[in-house]
Structure formats: structure tokens, C-alpha cells
Amino acid sequence: LPPVSLTTFTVTQGETSSLVLRASTPLNDDVVLENEFLSLVFSRESGRLISIKNKDSGIETAVEQYFCYYVGGTGDDKSGQKSGAYIFRPKTGECLPIALGDATKTISTVVQGAVQEVRQTFALDPDSDLPWLTQTVRLAAGDRFASFEFDVGAIPTRQLAGANATAETCVMWRGTVRGVRVPKDDKNCSEVISSSNSGFCECADGRRAGKTQGGKLPFTCTSVCRFHTGKEVVSRFNTSIASAGELLTDSNGRDMLLRRQDMRPSWTLDQTEPVAGNYYPINSAVAIGDPSAQLTVLVDRAQGAGSVASGVLELMVHRRLLVDDARGVGEPLNETKFTQSYALQDGGAHFGPGLVIRGTHYLTLERPAEAAKVWRPLADRIFSRPLLAFGGPALAETFTALANPLPPNVQLMTLHALSEGRLLLRLSHQFGIGEDALLSEPVTVDLAALFDPAVLPVITVREVSLTNNQDKSEILARRARNAKWTSDTSPHAWRHLVFDYGTSTKVTLGPLEMKAFELTTGMSTSDVFV
């Protein structure tokens, strides 16, 4: 699509085309997804991704991608802090792999036009044998990245590892009245216990589960005697990259920050949480690398990510926890299909199947010096997707407001109508200092030549603050009055350039710099934004 444009497509119904199934289980050979830039190999035994090769640069890296979960912590001898809505504090440092066990590995490969995909099934619900964790890995012709689209949920709360089947057995529902046993009110384990019943479930190991004196949602003792745990599911990449415990994470989608395992740059860290203490918030990208290769993963929403060992990258994709972390919400992070009104006696009680999420990770493998040139534009594509609109008779087939394309390292962030004949324009340099030999250099844009005058005739331009509440000239004047802000000693001279549209229509942007302008145009706003 052209930039700042509208393109119309006419859709007509044609003949149905079928997918081409290239392989299905059981597999005799490893599965390969391949285009002109990348090659991804999946193991015929495990169904997992096991290696990636960048055919353009010749880099080949062992990459095992799979899902695992941390058991949600419920407090220990060191601290009573639980894992919950605000706190990530796993019970142990072990991330338990999610796999089909001895069942036949479910993996198939599909080819449809220019897109190849591998479909994986990682886990089945212990009670229904329906999949609760699946993933589709896609590689399209011409792309330097692979996408990993995952469906996770409902996360089963049943304890999946280390549970004692005998201890989970139900003995009987024991009826009580005000804490006194009433044998005539006993029930079988399979009978439904409603809000009118009072008592508890007696389990084979002596536990009293499902205690109630009314007001609790219906359940059976067979269900509540089973061991249940909260789970925090992550997508994990085990690689041969010698990252030495270092990790790059984005700062609000802009600058990339270097993180080091068990270390903070401004104080001496006493690490008491070896997993959670190495997780960081990310909005756009996370990467691990060594001198020869950088593996970058882009996300489609804010997530937590971390590196708990050299060559390991983890991204948190879903959580379901059974206890409150006592940080203000007042309930466990146990999102379900149904929730009772908070005005009732059991206000906010959750029941029904758990939340199902779908997300996508985008993976690139490049040499460190070339990595940003691939993942930075891809991050813009993910964040600023085309807006789809459907209607009747079309307008012009193609329309664009730009007379000349922007430089490859500049993004138009905002073009917003303020009032009649007034627009807010924000331009952004998309590369950080030192990320690329060419694209990280300052760049100049001519605002007078940017827009097509037949579409958007620009009369005057003034530079404003990013929030558009003051002129940029006022900010620079205040800096000049402050002795600590002197352009003579600043290594970034472009930050102090005064823009005057009457003198020069060109503006310079330094690495990761954003600038905002108020445009006065000779066309009504309604004509521009039809």
C-alpha cells in the first residue's frame, strides 16, 4: 500500500480452493519451512522447532521453541508473597514443559499460495482430551521473519505434574450444621453440592476440600479433591546463541535497553527471585545475541519477557492463578467465561471455562549489525496495521496524500485534524544510535515537498512540543537560559536546531527523535479526511 493512502479492492466470489496438506503425523522426516531468506526445521520426533537458518547471511542457529509453565507461588519460608494479578512469583525456578507425553505428536504442514505453515498441538485438556495449547508457525514468500500464532487456554487448573492419583480420590461429602457432623446429609462424590448444602468434601489423603456453609457455587467432590495449581505459561526459545545472560528489551517501543542477568546498573542487587527478578516488561521487541547472531522476537501486545540463562529467551503468554496476591484486586487472577455480580453474597465468583487467548510472536534471525534494519520496520508494520473498511460503491481506486516517500528511517506517527485548516503532524526517526551504519544517521525531511499540494496544500508550519501545548522555540529558549543546556558541548547538535518554515522548510531528525508540527493548510479538514 502507498503511504498515507486509501486503496480500494473489489472482492468477488470465486471457486473454492483447497489447502495442500504436505505432511501429517506420523512423520518420517523432519519438516522444513523455507523461502528465499529463511529455513525453519521442525523435529519429526517432538514436532518442535529445532533450528533456524538465515540463507542470506549464512547464519544457522539451534533454536528449540516450546511452551512451559511455572507453578504459581502461594508463599514460602522466605516470604508470604503469592503470585497473582500484580506479582509474578513462581513456586520454583523450574519451567515445566507442556507436551503430549507418550501420545502421538500432532504436527502438520500446510501450503496455501505463497504461505507455508506448520500446525502444532502441544497439550490436551486432562478431562476432555480437547487441545488447550496449539500453535501455527507461518513463513511467507519474501519475508525475513516467521510468525508464531498461538492459542492458549483454557489453562487447566488440575495439577499436571507430580500429582498423587490416590490422594486425589474423593471419599464422601460430609454434611454439617454449624460445624457439627450430620451424617444424614452426606452425599456421594459425584453428586452436585449446591449453595444450600453445608459441609465439606473428605478426600483420601485426609484433606477437607470445598468447605461451605452456603453461598458457594455448585461443584462435585470428585472435582475439588483433585490437586489444583495456578499456572503461568511461557513461550520458550532455547538457542545456541552465547548471550552470556544479556537481554535487550524495548522502552515503550523506542530505545532498546541492555539487561544483564541478576544485575542492575545503578545499585548492587541481592537477587532473591532468580526467575521473576530477570523478567522485564516489553511493548514491542526483545532480543538475545552474540557477536555473530541476534534473535529478535516482536510481540503484538505488552508482555513480560526474560532470560534466565545464556541463550534462553522466555515470553509470558498467559496466566491463571488460584490465590490473591494481596496487592489490591481482592481476588485471584482466575478469569473465566462467567462471573457473578459483585453485589451478590459471593460477589465476583468466577465459574465456567477459563479464558482463551490468541497472540502472535514474530521472529527474526540476523547478524547484529543488520538486525535493526529488519526488525524496526517490522515493528512499525505490526503496530500500524492498515485500517480495513467495507462498503458499497468505491471511491477512487488509489489515493495518497504524499508527494514523495519518506526516508526509510522516518515514520509518520500522527496526522491529526485540530480544527478547520489546522493539522498536527508528528514525524519520528525509527532507529537508535549505532543500530545501523546508515539508518541510524540523522535524516532531513523537506516539509514543503512532503505532501501533494493538490491534496494537502501547506501554507505555514510551526514546530511545537510533542503534546502540542507550547511552541518548540519557547522550550529551546528556556534551555538556552539554563547554563546546563548549552549547544556548544552537546554531542547531539540536531536537538538544538531552531525550525523556521519561512527560512528553511527542511527539518532534521536524530536517532529515535520525534518532532511535532502544526500545519496550516489551504484546504478544509473535511476535504482532506473524507
Residues 89 and 195 in one domain: no
One-letter amino acid for residue 352 of the chain: G
In a domain, 58, yes or no: no
Residues 153 and 172 in one domain: no
pLDDT at 217: 67
What would the mean pLDDT of 241-254 be, rounded to a whole number? 95
d(CA 440, CA 507): 16
CB contact at 8 A, 232 and 157: no
Q: 251: domain range?
A: 64-158+230-330+355-368
Contacts of 512 (CB under 8 A, 6+ apart): 254, 255, 428, 429, 430, 431, 432, 433
Cell numbers placing 11 = 472482492
> Which among 123, 157, 86 has a CA at the least distance from the CA of 351?
157
One-letter amino acid for residue 476 of the chain: L
Residues 77 and 193 in one domain: no
pLDDT at 129: 77
Contacts of 26 (CB under 8 A, 6+ apart): 104, 105
Residues 210 and 235 in one domain: no
Contacts of 407 (CB under 8 A, 6+ apart): 443, 445
pLDDT at 213: 46
Cell numbers placing 345 = 453474597
Residues 234 and 222 in one domain: no
pLDDT at 24: 47
In a domain, 139, yes or no: yes
CB contact at 8 A, 72 and 322: yes
Residues 203 and 251 in one domain: no
In a domain, 204, yes or no: yes
Judge whether residue 118 has pLDDT over 80: yes
What would the mean pLDDT of 35-55 be, rounded to a whole number? 94
5/443: higher pLDDT: 443
What would the mean pLDDT of 144-160 be, rounded to a whole number? 91
Question: Can you tell me whether residue 453 is helix, strand or coil?
Answer: coil
Judge whether residue 262 has pLDDT over 90: yes
Question: Can you tell me whether residue 480 is helix, strand or coil?
Answer: helix
Judge whether residue 17 has pLDDT over 80: no
In a domain, 42, yes or no: no
The string of pLDDT tens digits covering residues 270-294 is 999 999 999 999 999 999 999 999 9
Judge whether residue 407 has pLDDT over 50: yes
> Which among 49, 47, 73, 51 has a CA at the least distance from the CA of 61?
51
Last residue of a domain, one of 172, 198, 226: 226
Average pLDDT, the chain: 88
> Which among 43, 38, 40 has a CA at the least distance from the CA of 27?
43
pLDDT at 445: 96
Last residue of a domain, one of 345, 368, 391: 368
Going by pLDDT thresholds of 50, 70 and 90, the confidence category of residue 483 is low
φ and ψ at residue 274, rounded to 5 degrees = -65, -25
- DSSP alpha helices (H): ranges in 354-495? 368-383, 472-481
pLDDT at 160: 67
Residues 221 and 238 in one domain: no
Alpha-carbon distances, residue 10 vs 3, 394, 530 (angstroms): 20, 8, 19
Going by pLDDT thresholds of 50, 70 and 90, the confidence category of residue 23 is very low
Going by pLDDT thresholds of 50, 70 and 90, the confidence category of residue 214 is very low
Mind giving me the DSSP string for 239-295? ES---TTEEEEEETTTEEEEEETT-BTTB----S-TTGGGEEEESSEEEEE-SS-EE
Last residue of a domain, one of 175, 199, 226: 226
pTM for the full predicted model: 0.88
Going by pLDDT thresholds of 50, 70 and 90, the confidence category of residue 32 is very high
Ranges 98-107, 177-186, 423-432, 501-510: which has the least confidence = 98-107
d(CA 434, CA 256): 11
Domain count across the chain: 3
d(CA 100, CA 363): 25
φ and ψ at residue 382, rounded to 5 degrees = -70, -40
Judge whether residue 101 has pLDDT over 70: no
Contacts of 79 (CB under 8 A, 6+ apart): 89
Q: What percent of the chain has pLDDT over 90?
A: 64
pLDDT at 524: 63
d(CA 29, CA 39): 15
The string of pLDDT tens digits covering residues 458-479 is 999 999 999 999 999 888 888 7
pLDDT at 171: 95
pLDDT at 161: 61
Judge whether residue 300 has pLDDT over 50: yes
pLDDT at 20: 58
3-state helix/strand/coil string of 176-212: EECCEECHHHCECCCCEECCCCEEEEEECCCCEEEEE
Going by pLDDT thresholds of 50, 70 and 90, the confidence category of residue 21 is low
d(CA 200, CA 353): 24
Going by pLDDT thresholds of 50, 70 and 90, the confidence category of residue 97 is very high
> Which among 425, 431, 385, 434 has a CA at the least distance from the CA of 408?
431
What would the mean pLDDT of 497-515 be, rounded to a whole number? 93
Which of the residue ranges 53-67, 324-338, 400-414 has the most confident prediction, judged by mean pLDDT?
53-67
pLDDT at 25: 44
Judge whether residue 127 has pLDDT over 80: no
Judge whether residue 1 has pLDDT over 80: no
In a domain, 99, yes or no: yes
Alpha-carbon distances, residue 345 vs 179, 213, 215, 325, 348 (angstroms): 20, 12, 7, 22, 9
Cell numbers placing 68 = 512451559
Residues 143 and 197 in one domain: no
Residue 68 zone, left/alpha/beta (φ > 0; ψ -120 to 50; rest): beta
Residues 489 and 515 in one domain: yes
Taking the CA atoms of 521, 525, 527 and 530 in sequence, report the sign of the dihedral they define: positive
In a domain, 347, yes or no: no
Q: What percent of the chain has pLDDT over 70?
A: 90
**CATH at residue 148:** 2.70.98.30
φ and ψ at residue 186, rounded to 5 degrees = -65, 150
d(CA 525, CA 415): 11
Residues 246 and 309 in one domain: yes
**CATH at residue 415:** 2.60.40.1360
pLDDT at 216: 55
In a domain, 183, yes or no: yes
Residues 412 and 516 in one domain: yes
Residues 140 and 253 in one domain: yes
d(CA 125, CA 153): 9
Going by pLDDT thresholds of 50, 70 and 90, the confidence category of residue 530 is very low
In a domain, 482, yes or no: yes
